[in-house]
Structure 1
């Protein structure tokens, strides 16, 4: 977690959608506006806008004998350092996250972690000791995705696996289904309200966590 002397909890929001006018981009704007209205910090990493390269390099592989992080990965790690929570916003395409996002996980969020460290939960990455929230969208309704086992699959892949492999504190998921062209304004407003409420809940959790940590430090200082 970020330094407890830091004034505000920090949210790193990762957007993986190529259209800056997409529903997903609106989700990011709503989330960040809510976070900032709660007095917390929001840092957006729009992967398509920054031209992130999702292709894993040979010497970045988890089983490489000598893992060497490329300059772009080192720069990205510096940009997202000291987050309290990583919020991933992305659509579900062909039952999977966009390749841009999986490449970001491969190259950045899991950077420098070996296979043995993952199995033993002994590695240290930017995710270690942090929280994660995934906000996903799909053209189909969530009930249909559930019938295909898709929602549970995503929760296992982006949720449970990362939670345990990287020693994260928590990993939650909000899915917004039925996102198609020509959306009704009422549907959009309701969906963004759900995002707003989830962001408020996350902010309250981080504020309480920060307060508890500060109180603990104060007690330690007096002892």
Structure 2
């Protein structure tokens, strides 16, 4: 089983990077392979050109995008780790999704309607933010983020098992606060992976009994 971790933060010494390491540790501790895509270190080109978009409609996909799609196809759990900037993804992550979740891979049109093609995936987001969660809840921004940034995008691709976790006041936390965030990410990752492993074992037993 594979766990794909997609990380977007320009500072390799950021707390977000520490969060990535904690998720990797949680993954490897229960014997699951972790695959990490650090978009800034990879210098991923986030710009979807018109020529590329047009070509994907005919099934022509650049080799580097096919590679990213292969990693997504192979992963049972996909984790996104990123800071919330201007109520959205960092531009490099938005561009990654623009290019990788292309027609014919993430969705298709069928009988005049869009059909998601990635329904067998579980997705979790660990999102850091400078504001407090309480403030976002008061303004209903948390619901807007859930509807658009998280569920709206990924449910369009057929994914129904989507979780997101907001970690607020990220620049104001003390050591105990940072440790609490890391522990939450560690435990949630192991919980999701354990559920997937259990489901995989059940399906394997069913196949053997048939």
Same structural fold, with TM-score higher than 0.5 when normalized by the shorter chain: yes
- Per the alignment, residue 211 of structure 1 pairs with 201
The residue aligned with 1:52 is 44
Q: What is residue 186 of structure 2 aligned with on the other side?
A: 196
Report how far residue 98 of structure 1 moved: 0.7
What CA RMSD, in Å, does the superposition of the two structures yield over aligned residues? 2.4
Mapping for residues 71-150 of structure 1, pairs under 5 Å: 71-110=63-102, 112=104, 116=109, 120-124=113-117, 127-150=118-141
SS in 2 for 1:12: strand
Corresponding residue number in structure 2 for 1:27 = 19
List alignment gaps of at least 5 residues for structure 2: none
Query: Which structure has more strand as a fraction of its residues?
Result: 2
Distance 1:60 1:120 in 2: 23
User: Whole-Å Cα distance in 1 between the matches of residues 146 and 56 of structure 2?
Assistant: 28
Structure 1: which 4+ aligned runs deviate by more than 6 Å? none
**Structure 1 unmatched runs, 5+:** 1-8
Are residues 163 and 215 of structure 1, via their aligned partners in 2, closer, same or farther at CA, if it must alter by over 3 Å? farther
Residue equivalent to 1:162 = 153
CA distance in 2, matches of 1:202, 1:62: 37
Q: What is the number of equivalent residue pairs in this alignment?
A: 209
Q: TM-score, normalised by structure 1?
A: 0.84
Answer yes or no: is the 8 Å Cα contact 1:62–1:114 preserved in 2.
Answer: no
Q: What are the superposed Cα offsets for residues 47-76 of structure 1, whole Å, 9 maximum, x if unpaired? A: 000011111121343897535322221232
Is the contact made by 1:69 and 1:111 (CA closer than 8 Å) also made in structure 2?
no
- Structure 2 residue aligned with 1:6: none
